[in-house]
Amino acid sequence: MAASEAVPYAKTGGLADVVTALAMELSALGHRVTLLLPGYRGQATQNARREVMRFSILVMQTKTEVTVEEELVPVTEASHPLRVFLVRYDPYFDRPGIYQEDHHDYPDNLDRFTLFCRAVLHVLRALTEVQGEAVDLLHLHDWQTALCSVYLKALPGEYKELHTIKTLLTIHNLGYQGIFAAEEFGKTGLPPSLFSPSALEYYGSINCLKGGIICADAVSTVSPTYAKEIITAEYGCGLEGVLSSRIDGILGITNGIDTKVWDPARDFYLPARYTAANLAGKQVCKRALQEEFGLPNREVPVLGVVGRLTFQKGFDLLLEIIAELMSLELQIVFLGTGDYDLEQQFKAVQQKYAEKIGLHIGFDERLAHRVEAGADMLLMPSRYEPCGLSQLYSLRYGTVPIVRRTGGLADTVVPFRPSTVESKSATGFYFTDASSDALLSTIMLALRVYKEYETWNLMIKAGMSEDLSWRRSAQQYAGIYRAMAEK
Ligand code: ADP
Ligand code: GLC
């Protein structure tokens, strides 16, 4: 498995959680998994690390010296450890950011991730050739690793030892495609003929994800609804044609969560722990959260927001209705970072309504856990959401999600309706239009239900008792791997 993020090494969003949890669960199921990541700055873990390979890669006639370090992560007593390979090339990866700094992407991201892809294939070749390990499958995630499948198809002579390896590309977010100027194509080391509409060319630029979609042996995404959405113009971000031309279709497998890391009964980031049977600790978490965000300890519903501040997440819809919300009995706690303009707007509303809005601009894992636990409701008004993990965490923490009905949000939240209340299956609220009116009326509905103590409690319990673990999804991936390997 190759990816650009994985906890605890590097994280900007859900991809990092997914990669590690899936790799661990597959190992627990008995598979031998090696995870390849760029060796970024500041990745110290508790595991011993040793250098296992050193080689050079030729990029634009220049030799680039890469080292690979290995960590063995224990999984279960019965299973093989998860082997993590960190691909180090410090001029590219020993930096303060993962993809960007001060809100600007690194200008050499194409150089960085093509080098990473080539190093991944180099490592696989060494494993096969020198160590006699048979690698069956390479699971790629997002544009940063998509080019691996292109290299395998386009340079069969260079990677002949790997001709039996199948590639699965999982798309976590079509909004990020790895688009670069045509002039940079030479850096990829690919034959110039591949800069064509049937391969990597996209409106005159290079599109790494497009190349991966065309060359990978199979393509999947992280929920069944998103798999259907992305073959439409509304959600396809310009790649709907390429996606729908894959005759085998796009598979949709819903993410799970790491139920050891995200467990209100064991979470040591929390000031108190709790279970569905005894929610007393959740009240302690709520009071601590109000304090931490500088809000008065009042008996009002607290709405939590955790997420990247981007157009995708629809938090601007919240800003549009902030005046209406502030006239209601509630508080909002906000944890996020991202677009500079949105950050400024959130700072401004927080200053205006300091009694009711708590804000933390930044990335803070501990605080994310505390918001998930201490809030009563979690807002995710996403314009699109491939899967979404925050709402899954909120379900597990007894924090009722209010989401837009799209992608994985539609697949994972059982909406409040007479029938779902009757069957005790309702776990949250959703709305369909990506509009602030729809968001406002859904929040109002949730606030009304919040007052119906029994119904609200049933919703909390239904969410907390759902099986959100990785087991089922990891088994689905394993089924796909097997089918691909046997083809
Ligand atoms: P996405 O991957 O699109 O960002 P997800 O809901 O799948 O959305 O995953 C987001 C992950 O990132 C969750 O684990 C969430 O807790 C975390 N996260 C997002 N923003 C922050 C932040 N500002 N501080 C800490 N964790 C954050
Ligand atoms: C992406 C998506 C998010 C998904 C995550 C992990 O960042 O935006 O919806 O949960 O990847 O798959």
pLDDT tens-digit map of 12-55: 999 999 999 999 999 999 999 999 999 999 877 889 999 999 99
In this prediction, residue 61 carries a pLDDT of 82
Side chain identity at residue 66, one-letter code: V
**Dihedral sign for Cα atoms in the order 384, 386, 390, 395:** positive
Ligand 2 pocket list (CB less than 6 A): 13-15, 18, 172-173, 222, 255, 385-389, 408
Up-side HSE of residue 259: CA atoms within 13 Å toward CB? 13
Side chain identity at residue 311, one-letter code: F
Residue among 237, 261, 210 nearest 407 (CA): 237
Ligand of minimum distance to the alpha carbon of 256: 2
Ligand of minimum distance to the alpha carbon of 361: 1
Domain ranges of the chain: 14-256+471-486, 280-464
In this prediction, residue 405 carries a pLDDT of 98
In this prediction, residue 345 carries a pLDDT of 98
* Residue among 98, 173, 174 to mutate when testing ligand 2 (max atoms within 8 A of CB): 173
pTM check: above 0.75: yes
> What pLDDT tens digit does each residue of the chain (487 aa) get?
999 999 999 999 999 999 999 999 999 999 999 999 999 998 778 899 999 999 999 888 889 999 999 999 999 999 999 999 999 999 999 999 999 999 899 999 999 999 999 999 999 999 998 888 889 999 999 999 999 999 999 999 999 999 999 999 999 999 999 999 999 999 999 999 999 999 999 999 999 999 999 999 999 999 999 999 999 999 999 999 999 999 899 999 999 999 999 999 999 999 999 999 999 999 999 999 999 999 999 999 999 999 999 999 999 999 999 999 999 999 999 999 999 999 999 999 999 999 999 999 999 999 999 999 999 999 999 999 999 999 999 999 999 999 999 999 999 999 999 999 999 999 999 999 999 999 999 999 999 999 999 999 999 999 999 999 999 999 999 999 999 988 8
Which residues, 6 or more positions from 425, have their beta carbon under 8 angstroms from its beta carbon? 414, 462
Is residue 363 in contact with ligand 1, taking CB distance under 6 Å?
Answer: yes
Q: CATH classification of 280-464, choosing from 3.40.50.2000, 3.40.190.10, 3.40.228.10, 1.10.3730.10?
A: 3.40.50.2000
Same CATH fold, 280-464 and 14-256+471-486? yes
Q: What is the number of the ligand 2 atom nearest to the C-alpha of 389?
A: 10
Instruction: Return d(Cα 57, Cα 413) in angstroms, integer.
Output: 47
In this prediction, residue 276 carries a pLDDT of 97
In this prediction, residue 43 carries a pLDDT of 75
In this prediction, residue 16 carries a pLDDT of 97
Residue among 93, 108, 110 nearest 147 (CA): 110
Number of other residues whose CB lies within 10 A of the CB of residue 130: 10
User: Is the domain covering 14-256+471-486 a CATH 3.90.550.10 domain?
Assistant: no
Instruction: Return d(Cα 487, Cα 485) in angstroms, integer.
Output: 6
Angle at CA 127, nearest 5°, toward 122 and 130?
105
- Residue nearest (by alpha carbon) to ligand 1 atom 4: 13
pLDDT tens-digit map of 162-185: 999 999 999 999 999 999 999 999
Side chain identity at residue 210, one-letter code: K
Calculate how far, in angstroms, residue 6's C-alpha sits from the geometric centre of ligand 1.
13
What is each CA distance from 418 to 21, 118, 387, 410, 423, in whole angstroms? 36, 55, 26, 18, 9
Please report the DSSP string for 271-310 in residue order.
SS---SS--HHHHHHHHHHHHHTT----SS-EEEEEEEES
Calculate how far, in angstroms, residue 15's C-alpha sits from the geometric centre of ligand 2.
6
**Dihedral sign for Cα atoms in the order 113, 114, 118, 124:** positive
Residue among 366, 359, 332 nearest 344 (CA): 359
Instruction: Return d(Cα 49, Cα 376) in angstroms, integer.
Output: 42
Calculate how far, in angstroms, residue 374's C-alpha sits from the geometric centre of ligand 1.
17
Q: What is the number of the ligand 2 atom nearest to the C-alpha of 386?
A: 9
- Residue nearest (by alpha carbon) to ligand 1 atom 22: 363
Pairing of strands 62-73, 82-88: antiparallel
